[in-house]
Amino acid sequence: MSDTFQLEIVTPEKMVVKDVAEEMQIPGKNGYLGILPGHAPLITELAVGEITYRHAGDTYHLAVAWGFAEVLPDKVTVLAETCERAEEIDVRRAQEARQRAEDRLKSANPEIDFVRAGVALQRAETRLEVAEKK
Amino acid sequence: MANILDIRRRIRSVTNTRQITKAMKMVSAAKLRRAQERALAARPYAQMLTNVLKSLVSRAEIYDPETGEPRHPLLAQRPENNVFLIVVTGDKGLAGAFNTNILKAASRFLESKAGKNIEIETIGRKGRDFLKRRYPMGEPRAADAQAAAQTTIIGELVGALNKVDYAMASDMAERVIERYSKGEIDSVYLVYNEFKSVIAQRLVVEQVLPIGQIGEVQVLQAEEMGAKEKERAMEAAKGAGVGVRPVDTREIDTQAARFAAAPVDYIYEQAPGELFRSLLPKYVGIQIFHGLLESVAAEHAARMTAMDAATNNATDMIDSLTLVMNRARQAKITKEIIEIVSGAAAAQ
């Protein structure tokens, strides 16, 4: 069996990644999943988190916010709402977003949707974490 | 006979105008190409998502096997009392009948839904300006409101069309889904100019909610381009170097068709029903996104055609003015010769 698999990450705006990988980690909704070539066919929803994959000695990091993945023995396809490579992340914007979300969570305003603010905070933090790894 | 100097001045002015229209045509052509690329780039995701949902429909028994009733609120039809309409026009004019046609289609649709409570949200300045003159602004209606049926504008989005992104569409989708689930609105429609290629366009009213069959767009009202419009658009496209054939999407589609449809037993990390529920809202988002992208492409195409026609008209005008000018010049020369000759004759 081949020791690599194909990898495609698609967002509504473009195809972000079309590559080959030897190993990959995806943030499944029920926890992170490690994927090696020959993985059993699997379908899962993704949470907010970080996708990491390795190819030819290099490790790539991407921030993903909600997605959906299909894993086949020789191919992994990820549909993601937003997905950015570490070097594409706008750190300033993510920091601002984090600040905004934190402010909202701290305020006592009952009209605030805390779930949404929480998700926003998580997204911003993931982005910042991933951005550091470039 | 008109003054030669005046005519010359007019020719110069028309030449200047022609330069501007020509430049605008080329700019629109470039923007159109970019818009087409974006629409194409959005296709794999849309197709894959549709595909997954389709395969989940059977696996998760979304439709009750006995009664055939859908088990998801976004799929269920219910009596339509409160209608929500999204009108997508352009922000700018100078695009021929582009905006007018959309607004005409929207008006026709509104007539067909007369007697119901209708809420409108406009995307694009032109649509907002037009509809605001006809209908009052209003607040989104609460689910239990008992007011008489009326048509109000409850939202507008202006100046966003030159940077359409998915976040915009998904925000809107989230909003309408939430209101739909609360029962504040019973259906959502999108009116926009569909764009397959420069010569294959339609004005459509699409039903966004409730979702009918997944993967099939429910079109309530559609209007093809006229033969004359097509001819003109074809000419403009030729002049600007834009292809007129629809982009071939077969490869993307067959690629996408394989997604999540391999003939194997997948391990589902989540129950299929749960997956379906979290994916379905994305489908609404992608449908709105698709509408926005096509409308933007269509707007550029319309502007390109209009500016091509304007350039041609300017050329015709310059030709006829030049003719008039030459005639006037000749008349003047003839007159001068006659004056000299008759002057000489008188002197003898």
Residues of A with CB below 8 A from B41's CB?
Answer: 13-15
Residue B27's pLDDT is what? 93
pLDDT digits (tens, 9 = 90+) for B61-112: 777 777 777 778 888 888 888 899 999 999 988 888 889 999 999 999 999 8
User: Which token pair is B256?
Assistant: 């996408």
Q: Which of A91, A124, A89 is nearest to A105 (CA)?
A: A124
Angle between helical axes of B250-257 and B43-59 (0-180°, round to 10) = 30
pLDDT digits (tens, 9 = 90+) for B182-201: 888 889 999 999 888 888 88
Whether B291 has a pLDDT exceeding 80, the answer reads yes
Domain ranges within chain B, ordered by starting residue: 16-310
Which residues share a beta bridge with B42? none
Residue B143's pLDDT is what? 66
Q: Give the span between the Cα atoms of B304 and B27, in whole angstroms.
A: 8
Residue A31's pLDDT is what? 86
Whether B282 has a pLDDT exceeding 70, the answer reads yes
Taking CA atoms, B190 is separated from B96, B99, B135, in Å, by: 22, 15, 18
User: Which token pair is B264?
Assistant: 């194997």
Residues of A with CB below 8 A from B266's CB?
Answer: 41-43, 70
CA end-to-end distance (rounded Å), chain A: 31
Phi and psi angles of residue B124, each rounded to the nearest 5 degrees, phi first: 105, 140
Strand, coil or helix: what is B189?
strand
Mean pLDDT of the B163-180 span? 89
Q: Give the span between the Cα atoms of B236 and B29, in whole angstroms.
A: 9
Q: Give the span between the Cα atoms of B152 and B85, in whole angstroms.
A: 10
Phi and psi angles of residue B122, each rounded to the nearest 5 degrees, phi first: -105, 140
CATH class, domain A89-131, is: mainly alpha
> What residue in B sits closest to A32 (Cα-Cα)?
B269
The residue that leads in pLDDT, A115 or B49, is: B49
The residue that leads in pLDDT, A101 or B86, is: B86
Mean pLDDT of the A17-45 span? 89
Whether B17 has a pLDDT exceeding 90, the answer reads yes
Report CB contact under 8 Å: A11, B260. no
Taking CA atoms, B209 is separated from A133, B75, B177, B342, in Å, by: 42, 8, 8, 87
Residue A56's pLDDT is what? 84
* Mean pLDDT, all residues of chain B: 86
Q: Give the span between the Cα atoms of B152 and B120, in whole angstroms.
A: 6
Q: Give the span between the Cα atoms of B219 and B189, in whole angstroms.
A: 9
Q: Report pTM.
A: 0.86
Residue A86's pLDDT is what? 78
pLDDT digits (tens, 9 = 90+) for A75-97: 898 988 888 887 777 778 888 88
Residue labelled with tokens 């039809």: B77
What's the residue count for chain B? 348
Residue A1's pLDDT is what? 57
Report CB contact under 8 Å: A12, B46. yes
Taking CA atoms, B76 is separated from A44, B68, B145, in Å, by: 26, 11, 22
pLDDT digits (tens, 9 = 90+) for B212-230: 777 777 787 777 788 888 8
pLDDT digits (tens, 9 = 90+) for B297-331: 999 999 999 999 999 999 999 999 999 999 999 99
Taking the Cβ of residue A119 and every Cβ of chain B, the question of whether any pair is shorter than 8 Å is answered with: no
Query: What is the band of B148 on the pLDDT scale with cuts at 50, 70, 90?
Result: low
Report CB contact under 8 Å: A12, B48. no
Report CB contact under 8 Å: B259, A41. no
Residue A84's pLDDT is what? 84
Residue B1's pLDDT is what? 52
Mean pLDDT of the A121-126 span? 81
Q: Give the span between the Cα atoms of B340 and B192, in whole angstroms.
A: 69
Considering only CB atoms, which residues of chain B are within 8 Å of chain A? Answer: 38, 41-42, 44-46, 48-49, 52, 165-167, 169-170, 259-260, 262, 264-270, 274-275, 278-279, 282, 285-286, 289
Between 3.40.640.10, 3.30.1300.10, 3.30.70.270, 2.60.15.10, what CATH number should domain A5-86 receive?
2.60.15.10
Residue B81's pLDDT is what? 86
Residues of A with CB below 8 A from B269's CB?
Answer: 28-30, 33, 42-45
Taking CA atoms, B278 is separated from A119, B171, B174, B273, in Å, by: 15, 15, 12, 9
Residues of B with CB below 8 A from A12's CB?
Answer: 42, 45-46, 166, 169, 285-286, 289
Strand, coil or helix: what is A68?
strand
Residue among A39, A78, A79, A119 with most chain B CBs within 10 A, to mutate: A79
DSSP single-letter state for residue B149: P
Query: What is the band of A134 on the pLDDT scale with cuts at 50, 70, 90?
Result: low
Q: Give the span between the Cα atoms of A32 and B6, in whole angstroms.
A: 78
User: Which token pair is B84?
Assistant: 């929500």
Mean pLDDT of the A122-130 span? 80
Q: What percent of chain B has pLDDT over 90?
A: 36
Query: What is the band of B144 on the pLDDT scale with cuts at 50, 70, 90?
Result: low
CB pairs < 8 Å spanning A and B: 76
Domain ranges within chain A, ordered by starting residue: 5-86, 89-131
User: Which token pair is B123?
Assistant: 């995307």
Residue B11's pLDDT is what? 94
Residue B277's pLDDT is what? 85
User: Which token pair is B304?
Assistant: 């390109």
Q: B136: cis peptide before it, omega within 30°?
A: no
Q: Give the span between the Cα atoms of B49 and B256, in whole angstroms.
A: 9
How buried is residue B245: exposed, middle or buried, by Cβ count under 10 Å (0-12/13-18/19+)? exposed
Query: What is the band of A63 on the pLDDT scale with cuts at 50, 70, 90?
Result: confident
Q: Which of A45, A31, A44, A13 is nearest to B45 (CA)?
A: A13
The residue that leads in pLDDT, A74 or A108, is: A74
Neighbours of B336 (CB within 10 A): 10
Query: What is the band of B2 on the pLDDT scale with cuts at 50, 70, 90?
Result: low
Least confident of B18-27, B87-96, B246-255, B326-335: B246-255
* Parallel/antiparallel/unpaired status of strands B200-209 and B187-197: antiparallel
pLDDT digits (tens, 9 = 90+) for B112-127: 888 888 899 999 999 8
DSSP single-letter state for residue B15: H
Q: What is the CATH number of domain B16-310?
A: 3.40.1380.10
Residue B322's pLDDT is what? 94
